Structure 1
């Protein structure tokens, strides 16, 4: 990126608390402006295609204004808009690509979780069959397992634990992936050199490397505060 931070400003990684504090300060100091821009952006959602692109660019505009405040080189709305508006369709394309990628990854992750459930069920079935061969008829063994209340409860608990573990893995796996693509609009908004939608997504993936837990913590804290 071609910007230069001010001498007294460090742009290194910040803690979750520092990020939240800076965000709250900027939000407090410019609440009316950001609220108005966000409200206009949501109104644009009522207009198909073009309005959706304007919505994406509007939030890119807010991102640029906030970033310029952080590096102590504030811009007016018109100055920021002159930079963001020519990239409106890049914001739109990037948003569509991220949505499609997230949807496909969700399907793949869910399919993998279901496959794991089937594999576990298959393994349990084999183990029961082996136990049946060792200790007697497998059908009799299954009947005994089903007729004993404590065994039925144990099997139910094991099944629930497996489902819960898979849900946790699915949730954190998906949230990890989403976190890698979460800031795709920021490079589009702040970089002086024009970049495309795919380049912005790639930049988001690169910039978030090694900071996933911190990003997730910021999102959670921000959600709780709001």
Structure 2
């Protein structure tokens, strides 16, 4: 990847995905280490919630742990968002030929930790509204489902990369990051949608593999009646499924570690491409190694 002040080359969805894969391959160690941190922060609230539920079943007093759990949830959301933005910042540095180390990128993004929480909460509220809208669209006869899908994709494109703005632009806050991604994507909705679809086609086979154990484990339960089974017999029937479910969850965790950098790099390149066309940030693709 090379930068050129005179170039405003438009990147196709295929170019964006292939360039992202090349950069991923050249810097996978850095990206995976940050992705692992992001996924661990994201998983911590769910793991701790299971522990609290188990403790609550043993003693009612454990229920008071739900209050500190909410604080933990907010902190983990902020940390997971920040770590994801670190990956995008690292990729951005490579794309504009100003690479940073993981430590430098993390240090630059760290002061914005609580802005990532604010952004996540704002996006949560926005997507609640979007879900209400798409649900209402589905009530329209015949075309409702297609209109709902089209609206969902349109909003995904318009809100595709606010964490990149927050991670890269020094003075950006949560609301400004959302406004910036909305404004910058205004004239590029279709290319972004196509990029999302191409990237999804690349990612989805790995997640399908993760769900295979769960599906295989669920097959024996189809049509199974538990009414006439003793507790021991019911446990024996459902135990293989629970083991398969645990394996699928572990595989899903591993696949997420590998796919998070892929998506964050894509978002970073879309950001660079849009800025090159809307704001004059030059970008030119080359076939050489991004670190060459």
How big is the shift at 1:18?
A: 1.6
How big is the shift at 1:183?
A: 0.8
What aligned pairs does 1:3-42 form with structure 2 within 5 A after superposition?
6-7=3-4, 10=7, 12-42=9-39
Note if contact 1:9-1:71 (Cα within 8 Å) is conserved in structure 2.
no
Distance, in Å, in 1 between the alignment partners of 2:6 and 2:110 is 28
1:195 match: secondary structure: coil
Gap regions ≥5 residues in structure 1? 118-161
In structure 2, the partner of 1:181 is 159
1:49 match: secondary structure: helix
In structure 1, the partner of 2:132 is 107
How big is the shift at 1:203?
A: 0.2
How big is the shift at 1:13?
A: 3.2
Note if contact 1:61-1:189 (Cα within 8 Å) is conserved in structure 2.
yes
In structure 1, the partner of 2:119 is 94
Distance, in Å, in 2 between the alignment partners of 1:7 and 1:108 is 42
- Runs of 4 or more off by more than 6 Å in structure 1? none
> In terms of mean alpha carbon deviation, does 56-65 or 173-182 score higher?
173-182
Q: 1:191 aligns with which of 169, 177, 194?
A: 169
What aligned pairs does 1:181-220 form with structure 2 within 5 A after superposition?
181-192=159-170, 194-220=171-197
Distance, in Å, in 2 between the alignment partners of 1:9 and 1:222 is 29
Let me know the Cα RMSD of the aligned residues.
1.8
Deviations 1:7-39 (A, max 9, x none): 468465311122112101111111122112111
2:177 match: secondary structure: helix
How big is the shift at 1:108?
A: 2.3
2:97 match: secondary structure: coil
Distance, in Å, in 2 between the alignment partners of 1:112 and 1:211 is 24
Gap regions ≥5 residues in structure 2? 46-72, 204-292
Note if contact 1:187-1:203 (Cα within 8 Å) is conserved in structure 2.
yes
Distance, in Å, in 2 between the alignment partners of 1:66 and 1:53 is 20
Return the TM-score normalized by structure 1.
0.72
Distance, in Å, in 1 between the alignment partners of 2:18 and 2:88 is 16
How big is the shift at 1:93?
A: 1.1
Distance, in Å, in 2 between the alignment partners of 1:87 and 1:111 is 36
Distance, in Å, in 2 between the alignment partners of 1:89 and 1:13 is 34
In structure 1, the partner of 2:91 is 66
Return the TM-score normalized by structure 2.
0.56
Distance, in Å, in 2 between the alignment partners of 1:112 and 1:167 is 7
Note if contact 1:109-1:174 (Cα within 8 Å) is conserved in structure 2.
yes
Distance, in Å, in 1 between the alignment partners of 2:154 and 2:104 is 35
How big is the shift at 1:84?
A: 0.5
Kindly tell me: are residues 108 and 8 of structure 1, through their superposed partners in 2, closer, same or farther at Cα, counting changes over 3 Å? Answer: closer
In structure 2, the partner of 1:158 is none
Note if contact 2:77-2:120 (Cα within 8 Å) is conserved in structure 1.
no
Quick check: which has more Rg, 1 or 2?
1
